[in-house]
Amino acid sequence: DLASAFIRFADGSVIVVEVSWAANTKQENIFSFLYGEEAGARLTPLEIYGVKRGGLVDTQVAVKEKKPHVELIRHFLRCVETGEPPINTAQQGLEIQQIIDAVYESARTGRSVDLEPLAI
């Protein structure tokens, strides 16, 4: 049970996604890395990798651990109660769904799929 995608954006940036819900592994491995031209980061635990004064620097950032699903529910309730706009917009949701649909289409056809920006 594995999903994998290589997603290239119009500006040349790339996201590589690999997900497995039933991997044959000793322990659960959840990790996210970001790689940029001038720095990188690991999201859990939060560490920033970069260059400072000509040398490589790894910085660990202390972040209060939160449960993402609980935080999403709290945010939703706060939006309902106060009228605060949600963190994510309907436009973003449509764009993410368009990417997910393209990943499925690519898997079905064995070819890359080009997308046009949504006009909403």
Kind plus residue range of the DSSP H or E element containing 82 = helix 68-82
Tokens of 83: 């009228």
DSSP result, 23-35: ---SS-----EEE
Instruction: Express each pLDDT in 54-81 by its tens digit.
Output: 888 999 988 888 888 899 999 999 999 9
By the 8 A CB rule, do 41 and 49 touch? yes
The average pLDDT across 101-113 equals 95
Q: Residue 49: which H helix or E strand, with range?
A: strand 47-52
Residue 29 — very low, low, confident or very high, per pLDDT cuts 50/70/90?
Answer: confident
The pair of structure tokens assigned to 79 is 């939006």
Q: Please enumerate in sequence order all residues whose Cβ is within 8 A of that of 61, keeping only pairs 6 or more positions apart, or say none.
A: 46, 47, 48
